[in-house]
């Protein structure tokens, strides 16, 4: 008799488990949480429904380090796994837009999460 397979949610930390700036995990409920217009934006950008969704959570402990790490990680990820990145704030980003430093309504990729550093 076959035993049921238990689903274990996988979580990864970057750059390492103890001193991390990012938590990455499969986000199976993402599309059920989207508003209809957001689903349309994603499916148009992908030319269909996504096969998998990942969440990248930034840990904000060191100024913009989490944002910088998330930006580099997302760019690297979609450079070998075709997809788009939803910044969950205002825009959907393609590989070409991120790599070319495109500017959208809230600035460049993940700029909406950056903190302004004061001089002096």
Pairing, β 54-58 against β 22-26: antiparallel
Q: How many CB atoms lie within 10 A of CB 33?
A: 9
Angle at 33 between CA 28 and CA 34, to 5 degrees: 110
pLDDT given at position 100: 96
pLDDT, residue 75, reads 95
pLDDT of 32 reads 86
CB contact burial 46-68 (16+ within 10 A = b; e otherwise): eeeeeeeebbbbbbeeeebebbe
Give pLDDT, residue 10.
Answer: 87
For the chain, give the longest Cα–Cα distance: 69
pLDDT in tens, 72-85: 999 999 999 989 99
Give per-residue pLDDT as tens, 26-42: 988 888 888 888 889 89
Residue 118 has pLDDT above 80, yes or no: no
Q: Do 94 and 75 touch, CB atoms closer than 8 A?
A: no
Residue at token pair 């992908």: 46
Cβ atoms 15, 69 nearer than 8 A: yes
Phi-psi category of 36—alpha, beta or left, where left has phi over 0 and alpha has psi -120 to 50?
alpha
Residue 90 has pLDDT above 70, yes or no: yes
Q: Is pTM, for the whole model, over 0.85?
A: no
Q: What is the pLDDT of residue 105?
A: 92
User: Lowest mean pLDDT: which of 7-16, 25-34, 59-68, 102-111?
Assistant: 7-16
Mean pLDDT of the chain: 87
């Amino acid at each position: 008799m076959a035993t049921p397979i238990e689903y274990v949610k996988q979580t990864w930390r970057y750059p390492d488990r103890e001193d991390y700036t990012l938590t990455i995990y499969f986000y199976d409920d993402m599309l059920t949480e989207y508003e209809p217009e957001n689903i349309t934006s994603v499916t148009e950008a992908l030319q269909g429904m996504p096969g998998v969704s990942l969440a990248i959570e930034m840990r904000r402990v060191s100024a913009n380090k989490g944002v910088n790490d998330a930006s580099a990680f997302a760019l690297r990820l979609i450079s070998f796994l075709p997809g788009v990145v939803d910044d969950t704030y205002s825009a959907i980003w393609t590989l070409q837009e991120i790599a070319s430093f495109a500017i959208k309504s809230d600035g460049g990729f993940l700029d909406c999460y950056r903190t302004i550093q004061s001089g002096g």
